[in-house]
A and B are shown apart, each in its own frame.
Chain A
Amino acid sequence: MSVHQISVFLENRAGQLADVTKLLAANAIDLRAISIAEATDYGVLRLIVDDAEKATQILLAGGYILSKTPVTVVSVPDQTGGLAPVLSVLAEGNLDVEYMYSLFTHKDGKAYIVFRISDEAKFISLLNAHNIALADNDELGLK
């Protein structure tokens, strides 16, 4: 049920982010989510794209260092308080959030949140127990 996230190493230098997004745009890769975790001298750019395999090939050929990580995408009602039940699940399971960010995609009154959790398996089973839906590639229109 997980979705592939691409993490790219970027040095903290002007133009680095522009370069990588330009390269993806030139190859008709559509960004669905983007997030940056930064340290002093460098950062990790995290991306969800419409075609992870193709984007990986393009980035590697462009000399970037990257990794692919499976992440869980949770579908929540696109309304006030929509995220709360998910966060309650995390608290209940005593789970740590390593990071989270949202997709640009909105569909049928739903919003989508990327979660990277310390214990992914436990997280998913708790979500299932609470009838909270996960989004897969098909629903998000990803390859």
Chain B
Amino acid sequence: MANYYQPEIETASREQILAWQNERLIKQVQHVWDNVPYYRQKMEEKGVTPADIKSVDDLHKLPFLTKADLRDAYPYGLMGKPLSECVRIQSTSGTTGRRVVAFYTQHDIDLWEDCCARAIVAAGGTKDDVCHVSYGYGLFTGGPGLNGGSHKVGCLTLPMSSGNTERQLQFMTDLGSTILCCTPSYAAYLAESIHEAGLRDKIKLKAGIFGAEAWSEEMRHDIEEKLGIKAYDIYGLTETSGPGVSFECSEQTGMHINEDHFIAEIIDPNTGEVLPEGSKGELVFTSITKEAFPLLRYRTRDICVLTRKPCSCGRTHVKMSKPMGRSDDMLIIKGVNVFPSQIETVLMEQGYPANYQIIVDRVNHSDTLEVMVEMAPDKFSDSLAEIAEQEKKLVNALKAMLGIYAKVKIVSPKSITRSEGKAVRVIDKRKI
């Protein structure tokens, strides 16, 4: 039996989905025009009025919103409803600048929880499950989102929040948790702890829903193997409600975007031009049902690919790949897209510090890529041959990940400048 929370929506025909999107987009643009002066001004600057938006095909006429807009408009500038109509605030961690504050009406929360419920059911959840939510509760959207979704499905919900691993394991074994929701890194930590405590036979977990962080396929296999579960990805941003914007199904080959609530586009991050299906580019979301925080054409900065290839799970909503990097970081070297995050992944896998610097240059009309890496205590040896062997392994791993050769330069520990906030990872001498 196929598992859907809202089968009539999740397996709707393409025509039906488009009909919903057209109707809701037109209504949403009018709502924003009437209630959000900040965005109305952006539309006016671009010479667009609600009358210009007759269907999804006209979406490209609307101006983008970026994180910078959210900061400019902080805290109330992008609200679509008066505060008296709002019942909840959630917020980002604010690690890369001012916090993003998002507002919700009761209706917004209902729809958000529906999205999370779809993710739980897609992971095999039913009302007979014990859903163990170890995302943080509070301002972070992870805990509240999955908690609400779990209630909607009718699971017995354990609002564990994060931390206190000993208690997590005790509840998991004593109360027979069957679905675990948390960040992938915490899942990996719990898996390790369960493994070490020899509790593998005492747990009843069958599935995990892990998101809010980038994670690799290797990490998925590791968690799946250690816990004996299927591990599903879930995606979302505070700006668009939280987790549940998209989620993985049994096929585990991408996340279905809830297209009845969000219209997804892929754009060229440099020109803003909309790219055809199957192109790699920046993901842009338009919320078409949100009342309190109705963002139109919000640039996520996440780079991914969309596909409408029919899915074996029966869902008809478009699928997005795992984000492959951030558009603000993307480099084009020898015609290949390179993301610092890919380099970081390799360094960490190979046991080097994540503090690194990438130097791109052009020598004899050809791009060069150099990665400066700090020596680590366990990579050092009295033998130059052994250091060189480690270096060669790193070069090969980078080549395998990036598809192009990167020269590795090993430098003194702590010699790469550490800046406050976001580190300067890339020096592109081609632009100097």
- Which residues of A does B touch, CB under 8 Å? 5, 7, 9-11, 13, 16, 37-39, 41-44, 46, 63-67, 69, 98, 116
Contact = CB atoms under 8 A, between A and B. Distances in A.
A116 B383 CA distance: 10
B380 A9 contact: yes
B384 A9 contact: no
A98 to B, nearest CB: 7
Contacts of A65: 375-377, 380, 412-413
A42 B414 contact: no
Contacts, number: 50
Interface residues of B, number: 17
A69 B387 contact: no
B382 A67 contact: yes
Contacts of B383: 44, 98
B427 interface: no
Contacts of A66: 380
A63 B383 CA distance: 20
Nearest to B414: A63
22 contacts: A5-B382, A7-B380, A7-B381, A9-B375, A9-B380, A9-B413, A10-B412, A11-B411, A39-B387, A41-B410, A41-B411, A42-B375, A42-B387, A44-B383, A63-B412, A64-B413, A65-B376, A65-B377, A65-B380, A65-B413, A67-B380, A67-B381
Nearest to B410: A42
Across the A-B interface, the 5 shortest Cβ-Cβ residue pairs: A7-B382, A11-B412, A69-B382, A65-B380, A9-B375
Nearest to B413: A65
B409 interface: yes
Contacts of A10: 412
A102 to B, nearest CB: 18
B415 interface: yes
B414 to A, nearest CB: 5
Contacts of A41: 409-411
Contacts of B375: 9, 42, 65
B388 to A, nearest CB: 6
B415 to A, nearest CB: 7
Q: Which of A13, A46, A64, A65 has the most CB of B within 10 A?
A: A65
Given A39-B387, A65-B376, A44 B411 contact: no
Contact of B382 (A11, A13, A44): A44
Interface in B353-391: 375-377, 380-384, 387-388
A98 B382 CA distance: 11
A64 B382 CA distance: 14
Nearest to A42: B410
A67 B384 CA distance: 13
Interface string B390-432: 0000000000000000000111111100000000000000000
B412 A39 contact: no
Contacts of B415: 11
A96 B411 CA distance: 30
A59 B386 CA distance: 22
Contacts of B384: 37-39, 43-44
Nearest to A69: B382
B388 A39 contact: yes
A119 to B, nearest CB: 15
Contacts of A64: 413
B154 to A, nearest CB: 56
Q: Which of B380, B382, B387 has the most CB of A within 10 A?
A: B382
A9 B412 contact: yes
Nearest to B407: A41
Nearest to A64: B413
A137 B252 CA distance: 63
Contacts of B380: 7, 9, 65-67
A29 B380 CA distance: 23
Contacts of B387: 39, 42, 44
Contacts of B377: 65
Contacts of A13: 412
A41 B412 CA distance: 10
A79 to B, nearest CB: 31
A116 B381 CA distance: 14
A16 B381 contact: no
Contacts of A5: 382
A2 to B, nearest CB: 13
A9 B376 CA distance: 10
